[in-house]
Structure formats: structure tokens, C-alpha cells
Amino acid sequence: MDRPRFRPLFLHPRFWPLWLGLGVLWLLVQLPYALLLRLGRLLGALMYRFAGSRRRIARRNLELCFPELGRAERERLLKDNFASTGIAFFEMAMSWWWPRARLQRLAHIEGLEHLQKAQAEGRGVILMALHFTTLEIGAALLGQRHTIDGMYREHKNPLFDYIQRRGRERHNLDASAIEREDVRGMLKVLRAGRAIWYAPDQDYGRKQSLFVPLFGIPAATVTATTKFAKLGRALVVPFTQERLADGSGYRLVIHPPLADFPAESEEADCLRINHWVEQAVGALPEQYLWAHRRFKTRPEGEPSLYRRG
């Protein structure tokens, strides 16, 4: 995709409320990091109280994935998760607008040698990530150290789309944004020996998916990871990120490439991926995006796992 460009259309009065909101957000993120964490937790508490639909989805996901926890323990986890989601709002703005040097002070990166080795060998890399609430700032921090292309879905609001893409791509000056449906573009990038951020942990429907267990529940799991690895002749390199509890920043871990991947079948690969998802999410459940209906698509004949209303 071409670089985002400012358009005179963005000065139309219908965009003025968004400009005002973005201006207020820009001012807020000039505050000290510790204060932004507190504001994020406050925003998360408000979201927990008023975002009823998302709260019910997240609560149901926690019931499904952690049945061994008591109700009170799951509710504490749910509130912590909303706090993390509130912080993510400010992290998004930090990644878009903070000076690079200020951002770099928050980064604690491990395993960068795996990306550097693949690059030296001319191997493409599927940087297999997850939808943690720290997704935006994690990609920005890693992008300052290594060029990462990204799968991209255009936002419906053209001004927000412009601001978002401009904020993301400033960390990767030679990176490209690839439409999520652009398989040919994805393979071209991988065959050129580049790394691309890719997350296989959401429910994208029945098409191009297999039902394999995730936290013991049959979950529609995309087979695209296997296809991209085969056709792009690429390594699959797991990537995790964590907001550190002591307020010192973020721990980003690039794990060793998956050995013997792809395997003998797509089902085996999907099982392996979901097992990794369970481990990564189980280690940091409060920072995962539970508000997504991960088990929305059901096998034929099975009822919905989400209550209406």
C-alpha cells in the first residue's frame, strides 16, 4: 500500500470532533508514564462499568477458558483485564506520538538475534503474535529495532485511518502495510526475506479454518499460518509482549523459530499453534484481549456459547 497522505477532505467540519478528540489525547499523553498508567486504569474501570456488551463477552470467555477459577477470582481477573484495556488506549497514542527516544527507554527486548539471523540468511519470517492489549505499543517498540511489515485492515473513518497508519509506519520507514486479504502481497514480502507481524488467534469464521481445541473447546482456527509458511518459504517465529508490573516498560520476547513447521498436516499445525496460544495467554491472562468472541463460530449443530443481550 502507498504511504498515507493528508487529504483536504480531512478539514471538513464532519471531522472536527475527531480532530478535537485527537488533540486532547495528544495533550494527555505528554504526561509522565506513571500517570498515564493510572489514567488508563481509571478509564478501564469506567469501561468495565458502562461497556456492558464487551464486559459480558470477556466474562464469558474467562468462564470458558478458566473454569477452574472461582467466580470471585475470575471477576478480579476481568476487572484487571479492563484496566489493561484502558491503559492500551494511552499506549496507542504513545506509540503514535511520543518521541522515539522516549519510547525506546521503555523497551526490554529479548531474542532479537532470531530475526537478525533469518534476515542474514534471506529467510522470510512470520512473526506469530497474539492480540494482547499491548499490541500497538509492542509493535512500535520492536519496529524501532527491526523492520516489521504488518497485516492491515483499513479503518472505516478515513481520518482515523490516516492518523493510525501514519503513527504506526513512522517506526518502520521502509515497512509496508498489507491488506489482510492480499495473499499475494503477503507471499511477496515473505519471499523477499522480510518479517511480517501476523496473529492467528482470533475467530475469522468457518472458511479457511479447522476446529481444534483451544482451552479444551473446539475453536475455528485459521490454517493460513501453514499456507503462508509453505508458499512463502518462511520461518514461524513466536512473539510475546508484556507490560511490566513495576512500571519500567515492556518486555518483548522473540522466541526461537518453530522447528519442523509446517508439519504433516494443517490440523497438527493448528493444534500446535493453539497450544502455544494457551501457554502465552495463560501466563498473562489479564493483558489479553478477551472482549473478542473467540468461540463465535461453532461446529455444525452446536449452539452458540455466548448469551444474547
pLDDT, tens only, 29-83: 999 999 999 999 999 999 999 999 999 999 999 999 999 999 999 999 999 999 9
Give CA torsion, residues 55, 56, 62, 67, to 10 deg.
140
Task: Tell me the average pLDDT across 6-27.
Answer: 95
For 296-307, the pLDDT digits (tens) are 999 999 999 998
247: left (phi over 0), alpha (psi -120 to 50) or beta: left
pLDDT score recorded for residue 182: 81
pLDDT score recorded for residue 258: 97
pTM, entire model: 0.93
Q: Alpha-carbon distance 112 to 134, whole Å?
A: 18
Mean pLDDT of the chain: 93
Q: Which three cell numbers stand for residue 299?
A: 461446529
- Per-residue confidence band for 198, with pLDDT thresholds at 50, 70 and 90: very high
Which range is most confident: 1-10, 171-180, 181-190, 229-238?
229-238
99 class by beta-carbon count within 10 Å (0-12 exposed, 13-18 middle, 19+ buried):
exposed
- Per-residue confidence band for 175, with pLDDT thresholds at 50, 70 and 90: confident
Q: Alpha-carbon distance 259 to 237, whole Å?
A: 10
In sequence order, what are the beta bridge partners of 239?
Answer: 254
pLDDT score recorded for residue 265: 95
Alpha-carbon Rg for the chain in angstroms: 20
Kindly give the residue spans of alpha helices, DSSP state H, lying in the chain: 16-28, 33-50, 52-65, 71-97, 100-104, 112-120, 135-143, 158-169, 183-191, 224-231, 266-283
Q: Alpha-carbon distance 50 to 197, whole Å?
A: 32
Instruction: Say if residue 174's pLDDT is above 70.
Output: yes
pLDDT score recorded for residue 173: 62
Residue 113 has φ and ψ, to the nearest 5°, of: -65, -25
pLDDT score recorded for residue 56: 96
Instruction: Say if residue 171's pLDDT is above 80.
Output: no
Ordered by start, the domain boundaries in the chain are 8-22+100-287
Helix, strand or coil for residue 3?
coil
Helix, strand or coil for residue 201?
coil
Which range is most confident: 1-15, 154-168, 266-280?
266-280
For 68-127, the pLDDT digits (tens) are 999 999 999 999 999 999 999 999 999 999 999 999 999 999 999 999 999 999 999 999
pLDDT score recorded for residue 176: 72
Q: Residue 136 CB: number of other CB atoms within 10 A?
A: 20
Could you tell me which residues come within 8 angstroms of residue 179 by beta carbon, excluding any fewer than 6 positions away?
Answer: 1, 151, 152, 153, 154, 185
Say what percent of the chain tops pLDDT 70.
Answer: 98
pLDDT score recorded for residue 309: 54
183 class by beta-carbon count within 10 Å (0-12 exposed, 13-18 middle, 19+ buried):
middle
Task: Tell me the average pLDDT across 16-35.
Answer: 97
Instruction: Say if residue 246's pLDDT is above 90.
Output: yes
Q: Which of 39-53, 181-195, 254-268 has the lowest mean pLDDT?
A: 181-195
pLDDT score recorded for residue 2: 65
